[in-house]
Amino acid sequence: MGTTDMFDAAAETGTAMEQAVSVFMLHPETFGESAAAGYQNPFAGYVAGRGGVLGEADGATVAAVFAVFEPTGLAALWDEGRAVHGAAGAAQRYWEQTAGFARRYLAGAAGLDRIAELGEKLIAATPSAGLPLYAGWRAMPLADDASARALQVMFVLRELRAGVHFNALTISGIAPIEAHMLNKGAQYAAMFGWPEPYADGADKKDRYTEVEQATNRRMAEIFEAALDPAEAQELARLSADALATLKANVPS
């Protein structure tokens, strides 16, 4: 397995884990649980839950860490959500929601113990400097059962890749709204709170491709530091299998 193969394994794993965790984050059941926990706006539950590991920071700081959300709206959601259970309480509830979602919909997927084992090797070998959400979530205790632990490990690794990507994006000079338009377009930009008219970043398309390549190169380096080639391929395959299981089991 050469450098290109490791690059591909890291990219495939990152894509599968990002999508799998997004299934949890964006599902109506998750939003319903947030509402039941007292968050009148379920998106405030998401922001407080995901950002809660940052502690009692102000909204502007959390918006800076989230990076690709419209900052004023994100800060307001943070303030609203943090007022319900505090930062630490929100993070703990969100972690329990992650585990519960996995127990309902991920159990039965192949290789869950190996996803956790290999993922934890990556986490243990990867420094957290410049990656605040990854640093916060890697410190959270993992569940003991296979399905919950696997999804929680995928959650932590999703934050790792996101943090690496945000750093590359910031260095590139591409604005967050331009990145959205170059990636998934206007509907995604609106979901992240950005108002029209949208700057499309058309003159930075090549630069955005370089950001994606830089993200995947760094993730490949992380994989190489922690996993042998067979393990990297195994994690990519099992992550794709886990995503397929979630898609098959989660009600639409």
Rounded Cα distance between 88 and 101, Å, is 20
Structure-block tokens of residue 217: 């190169």
- Who's near 250: CB < 8 A, 6+ residues apart? 23, 27, 105
pTM listed for this prediction: 0.96
Q: Given this model, what pLDDT does residue 17 score?
A: 98
Q: Are 217 and 209 in contact (CB under 8 A)?
A: no
Low-confidence residues in the chain, pLDDT < 50: 1
Per residue in 163-197, pLDDT (tens digit) is 999 999 999 999 999 999 999 999 989 999 999 99
SS3 185: coil
Q: What is the pLDDT of residue 3?
A: 67
Q: Phi and psi (nearest 5°) for 111?
A: 70, 30
